[in-house]
Structure 1
Amino acid sequence: MAEFSSALTVLSSGMRGQGQRLRHISENIANVDTPGYRRKTIEFRETVEGGRRSGAIEAGPVRLSQAALPQVHDPAHPMANEDGYHDGSNVELVTELADAREAQRSYEANLKMFEQVRRMSSQLFDILKR
């Protein structure tokens, strides 16, 4: 039974992590045209319990992209310098959409496995009742 519980813990941590990743991707997409906005990313790391690797993950700290901000020429913009340029956003919409699709598919894969483990444990209980 501990194996089922452990599997559910690992799978639910994966779903939580991908949910956090999707939230940051959503923020990036929402700010694609925000001047000076830097793309946010997160990395995952495996959790350790009792000195042993658990297989579960947790999100690390949010990181801001250090890629150069593009210079946008718009003399009418309130943030424009004397030459008419201001910092744009370093968010690439195509990259964000690809990352969102990857996170969504990973979430769905974890969900399907979660449902399968739950179904297997339910069937095991039914067999043990007999």
Structure 2
Amino acid sequence: MIDPLIASSKLSGAGLEAQSMRLRVVSENVANASSTGRTEGSDPYTRKTITFRSQLDRALGAASVSVKSIGEDSAPYPVQYDPGNPAADENGMVKMPNINVLTEMTDMREANRSYEANLQMIKQVRSMISATIDLLRT
């Protein structure tokens, strides 16, 4: 009875770790949403992306999740007229980060909800293990 509960807890822990990394990546993107280059014509901050992989955990006999990679978004940089910016080209145009803050906030909300669901699962497992131990004592 306890083994499946511990396995569930480990799977939820993998989910917590993956969503925690996703929240970190999204937070970096939001924090750098206005980070332009430092010199004329230089590229601004590039949006980071995260990719997950499903893998079989042979010890648990179940599919688990992990971070496959953290990459960069290949979307083009939008340009904005700002001749006073040090990154402005000869026409006063500045490359801006390829970040849509609304998309990032949506990703953050989804990652937060997934994190909370995995955390709730761990709490339930802990409660069930406690109840099982209490039953065994009597």
Q: Same fold (TM over 0.5)?
A: yes
Partner of 1:43, secondary structure, is strand
> Aligned partners of 1:118 and 1:50: how far apart in 2?
23
Pair 1:45-2:53 in alignment: yes
> Aligned partners of 2:109 and 2:31: how far apart in 1?
16
- Tell me the CA shift for residue 51 of structure 1: 9.2
79-88 or 19-28: bigger deviation: 79-88
TM-score normalised by length of structure 1: 0.92
Pair 1:29-2:30 in alignment: yes
> Aligned partners of 1:38 and 1:48: how far apart in 2?
32
- Tell me the CA shift for residue 52 of structure 1: 8.3
What is the aligned partner in structure 2 of residue 17 from structure 1?
A: 18
Give the letter aligned to residue 4 of structure 1: L
- Tell me the CA shift for residue 83 of structure 1: 1.3
Q: Is the 8 A contact 2:57 2:64 kept in 1?
A: no
Show structure 1 runs of 5+ residues with no match. Answer: none
What is the aligned-residue RMSD (CA, Å)? 1.7
Q: How does 1:1-130 map to 2 (within 5 A)?
A: 1-35=2-36, 36-50=44-58, 54-130=62-138
- Tell me the CA shift for residue 126 of structure 1: 1.2
Aligned residues: percent identity? 36
> Aligned partners of 1:48 and 1:111: how far apart in 2?
21
> Aligned partners of 1:72 and 1:53: how far apart in 2?
52
Show structure 2 runs of 5+ residues with no match. Answer: 37-43
> Aligned partners of 2:25 and 2:73: how far apart in 1?
12
